[in-house]
Structure 1
Amino acid sequence: MRLNELDERIVHALAEDARRSFADIGALVGLSAPAVKRRVDRLLAEGAITGFTVRVEPSALGWETEAFVELYCRHNTSPEDIRRGLSRYPEVASASTVTGEADAVVQIYAADVRHFERVLERIAGEPFVERTKSVLVLSPLLRRYSGAPDQPEG
């Protein structure tokens, strides 16, 4: 399904703030509140919008250490096995299968390096994991589509 320009603008407004009123969105895109509601309902029914959620700043949980981990999995590990295994870790912010040598890349937030090390050891101990390779983030430079600010405040 490909969104038209108007639906795309509505989706971007909701992605920015899912609590935004239909009237506010309507003012942004040039529609009435009922027309925006009808479009949002249609986008939900068609599966273009899959739900509404809250984004939590990891530092609000005390998680100020960020890392990316490459997972190298045992032969015949399915993406669903990886997803199921990693979903048990609240520190895992995202996980994706990737091209290249690694089978998946995992984004992890932790309170500190010790906490990260404990999480990494638990993940490395999963039966589907053969080995890992990790890097710690020093400074996030640009973030889009995640709800995080584009640059560190300070």
Structure 2
Amino acid sequence: MDDSDRKIISLLGRDARRSLADIGAAVGLSASAVNDRIRRLTASGAIRRTTVDADPAAFGLPVLAFVLVGLAQEADEAAFRRYARDHGAIAECHHVTGAWSYLVKVRVASLADLEAFLAELKGHGFLARSETVIALSSVVAGPFAPADGEG
């Protein structure tokens, strides 16, 4: 991967609908060269998917919380991973180091829904303990877009 590839990924990370010609102008390549690079980056796995960054509040999910999960000793970790993968409120789930087992990013409509989500986790027998942090606002949020010096 060279600097042009990094710039292309950064530009797509900020706006995946940006035209090939526009990207080409920004990186000094033709639209067809940009298209070839995007295909190669996708085939290699450097670009995993192209997506839309939707406003969660527009979908009635204004509450963002991060739940640190300590799995119960008797918990089936594979079952927890399946649960996390399939649960509609879980936006992200990361296996982490340190005192916790997982960090779970949750989007819900209300604090009552967050409380119900935590009760559901407990009801499945996954939790030994948890700590929940509610985001008041987000200073930086969005897809990965490596810095390239372009604003």
Give the TM-score of the pair, scaled to structure 2. Answer: 0.84
2-structure distance, mates of 1:65, 1:112: 6
Aligned residue runs from structure 1 range 1-154, under 5 A = 3-75=1-73, 80-140=78-138, 142-146=139-143
Q: CA deviation at 1:144?
A: 4.4
Which amino acid letter does the alignment assign opposite residue 37 of structure 2? Answer: R
* C-alpha distance 18-116 of structure 1, shift in aligned 2 (>3 A): same
Q: Is the 8 A contact 1:67 1:107 kept in 2?
A: yes
Which amino acid letter does the alignment assign opposite residue 143 of structure 1? Answer: V
Q: CA deviation at 1:44?
A: 0.9
Instruction: Count residues with an aligned counterpart.
Output: 144
* C-alpha distance 92-21 of structure 1, shift in aligned 2 (>3 A): same
Structure 1 stretch displaced more, 110-119 or 126-135: 126-135
Which amino acid letter does the alignment assign opposite residue 48 of structure 1? Answer: A
Unaligned runs of 5+ in 1: 148-154
Q: CA deviation at 1:14?
A: 0.9
Q: CA deviation at 1:48?
A: 0.7
* C-alpha distance 76-20 of structure 1, shift in aligned 2 (>3 A): farther
Q: CA deviation at 1:80?
A: 4.9
* C-alpha distance 75-9 of structure 1, shift in aligned 2 (>3 A): same
Q: Is the 8 A contact 1:85 1:126 kept in 2?
A: no
Q: Is the 8 A contact 2:67 2:103 kept in 1?
A: yes
Unaligned runs of 5+ in 2: 145-151
Higher RCO, 1 vs 2 (CA within 8 Å, ≥6 residues apart) = 2
The C-alpha deviation readout for 1:12-34, integer Å capped at 9, x for no partner, is 11111111111111011110000
Give the TM-score of the pair, scaled to structure 1. Answer: 0.83
Q: Is the 8 A contact 1:124 1:132 kept in 2?
A: no
The C-alpha deviation readout for 1:97-135, integer Å capped at 9, x for no partner, is 111111011111111111111112112323433232212
SS at match of 1:72: strand
Across the aligned residues of Structure 1 and Structure 2, the Cα RMSD in angstroms comes to 2.0
